[in-house]
Amino acid sequence: MPHSRRYRSSERSSRGSYHERYRSRKHKRRRTRSRSSSSERDRRHRREDSYHVRSRSYDDHSADRRAYDRRYCDSYRRNDYSRERGEAYYEPEYRHSYEYRRSRDREGSYRSCKSSRRKHRRRRRRSRSFSRSSSQRSRQSSRRAKSVEDDDEGHLIYRVGDWLQERYEIISTLGEGTFGRVVQCIDHRRGGARVALKIIKNVEKYKEAARLEINVLEKINEKDPENTNLCVRMFDWFDYHGHMCISFELLGLSTFDFLKDNNYLPYPIHQVRHMAYQVCQAVKFLHDNKLTHTDLKPENILFVNSDYELSYNLEKKRDERSVKSTAIRVVDFGSATFDHEHHSTIVSTRHYRAPEVILELGWSQPCDVWSIGCIIFEYYVGFTLFQTHDNREHLAMMERILGPIPSRMIRKTRKQKYFYHGRLDWDENTSAGRYVRENCKPLRRYLTSEAEDHHRLFDLIESMLEYEPSKRITLAEALKHPFFDMLEVEPSTKMWDSSRDISR
C-alpha cells in the first residue's frame, strides 16, 4: 500500500504520542533530507510507485513534448533538444523529492495525513489503466531506459524484447546502414501490428537528414492520406535519447536484395512491366508535389510482400525464385529535395547518376527519370548498366552505350578536364579503355528477345536515358507509353494489388 507508515510498538500504542511528536517537530528548523534517514521509505516508494511515476511522465510527454517535437522538426535549429528535455524525463528522484516537500508543508495532523494517503490511493487506482503484466513490463522498460547506451559508431545498443516509448517492442533487426539500423517491432498502440522502426545514429548529420526526411514524409501523408501513391507510409516519429526514430509500415525485401538472393536472375518482362509502372506512378506523385527523390535505386524500392515460389532449373542446376506479388513501395526520402530548397551539387548513388549531375549543370526532376531508366534496365538483365566508380569512365560508358555526349552540354559544363577539343578525353587503349570496350555495348544489343514487347521496353529506357534533361521523357508521358498497354490485358495483374497494406 503506497505511503503506508509502519510504527514501532511504542508508537503503535498511542496515536497521540505520534501526533505530539509531529507537531513539536513542525516548529523546529526544517532539516535537510538525508538519504540514510529515509532510505527505507524511498525504496518502498520506488518499488510501489515506479509505474505511477513513469505513467505521469509519459502523459506529460504525450501532450506537451510531442507538440514541442513537431515545432522542433520544422525549425531544425535546437541542437540541445534531447539533452534539454530527455534526461529529466527519466530522472527517478524528481517525483519523490516533490512528494516529500509537499507532505512536509501540509498541516501536521495524523488525520490530514491519512486523508492525503486516501486521495493518493484513489489517484493511483485511476491511473492503473493497464493490467498487472503490462505494469510489470513498464517497470522493466523503465529500468532499461535509465541505462541507454550507444556504441562507438553512434548506434543505439538494444536487445530483443526492449521497449521504446512504452509502445514499440523490438523483436528483430531488419538491416543496417550508414544512417543507423532498422528493427522490426510490435506496435502495442496499433493492436500488436508489426512495424519497421528506423533508429538513426546519435550523430548530428544523420539526425539532421532524419528531420528532413520526417518533414517530407509528413507532407506525403498530408497529400496522400489514403496511401494510394505507393510511397512508404510513416506512422509515427520521436526522439529517443538523441536517436531520431521513425515508424513505417512493415515491407518485404528490396528489389535488389531479392535479385541478389536469386543469383541475379533477371525479373520476367511481365514483372518488370508492373514494377516499372508503379515506380513511375510513385515518383510522378513526388514530382507533381515539387519534390525530387534524388536517390532512386533498386535498394530503395521494396516489395510489399517478398514471398516467392521456388522452382528448379535443370539446365543451370539451381533453385530459382519467382516473387508472388510485384506490389512495391518507394522508400528512403532522406535526400528528397523540394524545388525551392538548396540543391546539392552531387546527388544520387553513382550507378544511377544522371549526366547533368556529373557535369554539374544543375538538376531537377529529370534526374529521377534517368535513375528509373537505369533501374528498369537492371530488372531486365540482372546487372547494373553503369558499373563504375570514376566520373571519366562513367562518361565513357555512357558514350559507348548511348552515343556521343551532346556538344551543347560539353560547352556548358565547368568540368572541362574531362574533355579535349570538344570531345571526351578518353584513351581506349588503356586498361580502363579496354574494360569499357569489353563490358559495354550499344543499348539495343542487350535485348534478350526480338519480340515487340522487348523492343517497346527498350524504347522506353532509351527515352529515359536521353542526355538532355529537357528532351528526356516525363513520367506523365512514360505512364502512357505503349510498353504499359499490356497491363490492362494481363490476367495475372489482379494478384498485384498495390493498394493492399499488410501491416494493418
Query: Which active-site residues does the annotation give?
Result: 295
Say if strands 419-420 and 337-338 run parallel, antiparallel, or are unpaired: unpaired
DSSP code string of 366-429: HHHHHHHHHHHHHHHHSS-SS--S-HHHHHHHHHHHH-PPPHHHHHH-S-GGGEETTEE---TT
- Is 294 within 8 Å of 341 (Cβ atoms)? no
Length of the chain: 504
Instruction: Name, in order, each residue with C-beta under 8 angstroms of 211's C-beta and a sequence gap of 6 or more.
Output: 72, 73, 76, 244
Strand partners, 113: none
Kind and range of the H or E element at 356? helix 355-358
From CA 98, how far away is CA 45, in angstroms rounded?
Answer: 12
Torsion of CA 390, 393, 397, 403, to 10 degrees: 120
> Which residues neighbour 69 within 8 Å (Cβ) at sequence distance 6 or greater?
237, 238, 239
Q: Which of 370, 329, 365 is nearest to 349 (CA)?
A: 370
Q: Which three cell numbers stand for residue 355?
A: 549526366
Scanning the structure block, which residue is given the C-alpha cell 524545388? 339
Helix (H), strand (E) at residue 302:
strand 301-303
Q: Any binding-site annotation on 114?
A: no
Residues tagged in the binding site annotation = 198
Annotated binding-site members for ATP = 198
